[in-house]
Structure 1
Amino acid sequence: MNKEKFEKGLEIRRSVLGADYVDNSINNATDFNMPMQELVTEYCWGEVWARPGLPKKTRSMINLAMITALNRPHELKLHVRGAINNGVTKEEIQEVLLQTAIYCGVPAAIDSFRTAKEVLDEIDKE
């Protein structure tokens, strides 16, 4: 493991997903899944998210589309919150999900709209 990339990844991951969520994921990792936590933190967040080529807001919007295509509602919830943290507006989330209806299929987009609404409603109550 590259300690420098892991630490940079941890910083970015916390800023996007929230320190509580990330710290909970790391602190509750077991011998079995800690290698995955390390891989995700170092490679996804410390290597790719740390690149200067795209702002975090754009990366979040791309993630929403890809996670919709993959039909991963748990990850979508997490990344809707992250997108808001990165400055993506509700209207932009709506547009991303409408775009996915065309390229990923209406059923995938409908599920993502439903999932995103749950998160946005939670955020509104905070």
Structure 2
Amino acid sequence: MTGNEESYQRGLKIRREVLGGAHVDRSLAAASEFARPLQEYVTATAWGQIWSRPGLDRRTRSLLTLAMLTALNRNHELAVHVRGAVTNGCTVDEIQEALLQTAVYCGAPAALESFRVAERVLNELAAESTDNGTENGAGSRDA
């Protein structure tokens, strides 16, 4: 196995753990021949080389990612990573605080949109946990 293949496999594992296997499988399956190299790059580099580093825990990485996606106005990715943040153990309060912090540094319009996206996703997660009869943490305000 080459270094790049090792990074890809490590990244695929982490990506599935954070974002969910169904989401990752859909993303990879939907990738055209043209887009496939980008999916492979993101999996190997972002997930296999950066998310796997020991310097920050996944909760911290999730909160940083939410702030950066807000700054970049990448709302589709923000929604995906709100789910990932909950999976990584972030509470609703922590997500709210991270996004509130973005209002100061990214501007109110960016934060307002991120709050809308995050609230929609958190409500979806709460409904899913109610439908499944499980508690996945999305409804909890604080850990």
- TM-score bracket for the superposition, by shorter chain length: over 0.9
2:53 to 46, 51, 54: 51
Report the residue type matching 1:49 in the other structure.
W
1:103, CA displacement in angstroms?
0.5
Report the residue type matching 1:36 in the other structure.
L
Supply the distance in 2 between the matched residues of 1:24 and 1:45 (Cα, whole angstroms): 17
Instruction: Name the counterpart of 2:79.
Output: 77
The normalised TM-score by structure 2 is 0.86
Supply the distance in 1 between the matched residues of 2:103 and 2:31 (Cα, whole angstroms): 35
Report the residue type matching 2:123 in the other structure.
D
Instruction: Name the counterpart of 2:135.
Output: none
Matches within 5 A, 1:1-126: 2-126=4-128
Which has the higher mean CA deviation after the structures are superposed, 21-30 or 5-14?
21-30
Supply the distance in 2 between the matched residues of 1:35 and 1:5 (Cα, whole angstroms): 14
What do residues 38-73 of structure 1 show as CA deviations (whole Å, max 9, x unaligned)? 000000000000101000000000000000000111
Supply the distance in 1 between the matched residues of 2:73 and 2:18 (Cα, whole angstroms): 21
Runs of 5+ unmatched residues, structure 2: 129-143
Runs of 5+ unmatched residues, structure 1: none
Runs of 4+ residues deviating >2 angstroms: none
Indicate the percent of aligned positions where both proteins have the same amino acid.
57
1:78, CA displacement in angstroms?
0.3
Structure possessing the higher radius of gyration over alpha carbons: 2
Supply the distance in 2 between the matched residues of 1:118 and 1:60 (Cα, whole angstroms): 18
The normalised TM-score by structure 1 is 0.98
Classify the secondary structure of the residue corresponding to 1:123.
helix
Supply the distance in 2 between the matched residues of 1:72 and 1:4 (Cα, whole angstroms): 29
More helix by share: 1
How many residue pairs are counted as aligned between the two chains? 126
RMSD of aligned alpha carbons: 0.9
